[in-house]
Amino acid sequence: MSIEVKIPPVGESITSGVVSVWHKKSGDYVAAGEALLTLETDKVSSEITAEKAGVLETKVEEGQEVKIGEVVATIDDNATAPSKEKSTAAPNEPAPAAKHTTEKRSPNADVLSPAVKRLTTEEKLTPSEITGTGKGGRLTKSDVLGHLQKKDSGPATDDQEKPRAQKKSDVEQQPAASSERFTRKKMSPLRRKIAAQLVMSQQTAAILTTFNECDMSEVMAFRKKAQEKFQADHGLKLGFMSFFLKATVEALRAVPSINSRIEGDDFILNHYFDIGVAVGTERGLVVPVVRDADQKSFADLERDIADFAARARDGKIKIEDLQGGVFTISNGGVYGSLMGTPILNPPQSGILGMHAIQQRPVAVKGEVVVRPMMYLALSYDHRAVDGKEAVTFLIKVKEAIENPTGLLLDL
């Protein structure tokens, strides 16, 4: 009996995705619960697993866009798993001579993407003789092209002296020549979603940004003093983001109008503190939400942040991790940004931008001293928040960071 493998619902408002990679190929025997493919959507990447064991037959190629509910493969659950026992030679028969190759065999050299399969077929190559550099030893297009280049650059023979005709596959797979002015490729679902969100934010909200700066001396001194014990007690580092999460909660309590959103003609004031923390990945920016930040200790906050960062890098963020935030913090300072104006994350009314810490001369009690300073930026929806409230909020964050004693009570 064949069981259909369908693209399951992966989140509210997600209608399609892209099959970014098949972890198994047609003809492979798969176990129940084993990962079959990775689906990349406009919000998250999800692994689709096998519901039952059997032999897989894929129906779509890598890179193809598919709809939710679409059948992308079938599994024949009547097939049995291949025997793991190695066949032995008869007592009187000599064992076959081992075949020696000059190159290391890739563990997953037989797991080929459609592009690699086509290239190896056209060039009459043996995949097992090519070293794979992809995940788990998987062969990539660049591996095959590199093998071809090495092959062509070997000792010349009468046949090799003749220029090899460039095939269509070479043109498709090789990098663009330096004479070409641009390269065109389709945007990923996540990048398309980010683009749409940014445009919608600019078109639907009255965005204004106010700035301030804070002296990081006290936080840096405390962090240095407490770091060793914090790591010993909790098994993770004490970072700056947990301080800013705590400071943001205090500022939102002082200026409740920023903890709000506008829906049509309604003004909705939130009474909880689920704070989004922007995380940059190779696929784009995602904003997982730290739930009930007001009720968590520094260790709890750092643990949440570390977990989100790891899962975001691995493409394992869940859709529910990204929903329901009331405010966002974005740290452009990790990339060296000195100043910037963050864009609102709809339907939220505020976003705090952190920037790089820089040693700068400042006036303190009539004297010029050098201090580690950070510029802060608050972008807010002027429909819901007045300028006075925005400035007050940013000053509250500044005061909490420069005098962190009140934030440290739960350490």
- Compute the radius of gyration of the chain from its Cα atoms: 28
Residues in the chain: 411
Same domain? 350 vs 211: yes
The last residue of a domain, from among 141, 174, 207: 174
Report the C-alpha gap between 208 and 250 in whole angstroms: 22
Whether the CB-CB separation of 48 and 36 falls below 8 Å is answered with yes
Q: Cα–Cα–Cα angle for 394, 397, 399, nearest 5°?
A: 110
User: What amino acid is encoded at 281 in this protein?
Assistant: T
The pLDDT value recorded for residue 152 is 53
84 found inside a domain: no
Same domain? 9 vs 107: no
Report the C-alpha gap between 119 and 173 in whole angstroms: 9
The pLDDT value recorded for residue 101 is 43
122 found inside a domain: yes
The pLDDT value recorded for residue 47 is 80
Same domain? 70 vs 107: no
Q: Is residue 347 reached through a cis peptide bond, with omega within 30 degrees of 0 on the bond before it?
A: yes
The pLDDT value recorded for residue 149 is 64
> Token pair of 200, please?
């919608």
Whether the CB-CB separation of 126 and 116 falls below 8 Å is answered with no
pLDDT, tens only, 172-223: 445 555 567 888 887 777 777 778 878 888 888 899 999 999 999 999 999 9
Catalytic position from the list 233, 292, 314, 386: 386
This prediction's pTM: 0.62
The pLDDT value recorded for residue 320 is 83
Task: For residue 132, give the CATH number of its domain.
Answer: 4.10.320.10
The pLDDT value recorded for residue 107 is 47
Same domain? 279 vs 391: yes
Tally of domains in the chain: 3
Range of the domain at 129: 102-153+169-174
The pLDDT value recorded for residue 296 is 95
Task: For residue 215, give the CATH number of its domain.
Answer: 3.30.559.10
pLDDT, tens only, 304-313: 999 998 888 8
Helix-helix angle 387-402:241-254, to 10 degrees: 140
DSSP code per residue over 62-123: TT-EEETT-EEEEEETTSPPPP-SPP---TTSPPPPPPP-SSPPPTTTT---HHHHHHHHHT
Same domain? 147 vs 252: no
State the residue for tokens 């493998």.
5
Report the C-alpha gap between 275 and 261 in whole angstroms: 14
User: What amino acid is encoded at 15 in this protein?
Assistant: T
CA-wise closest residue to 297 among 249, 251, 255: 249
Decide if 234 is catalytic.
Answer: no
- Biggest alpha carbon distance in the chain? 99
Report the C-alpha gap between 373 and 398 in whole angstroms: 11
Same domain? 144 vs 6: no
Same domain? 232 vs 341: yes
Whether the CB-CB separation of 98 and 25 falls below 8 Å is answered with no
Pick left, alpha or beta for residue 11 (phi over 0 → left; psi -120 to 50 → alpha; otherwise beta).
left
Q: Which residues of the chain have pLDDT under 70?
A: 10-13, 42-43, 83-116, 118-119, 122, 134-136, 141-142, 148-179, 409-411
Same domain? 51 vs 124: no
Decide if 386 is catalytic.
Answer: yes
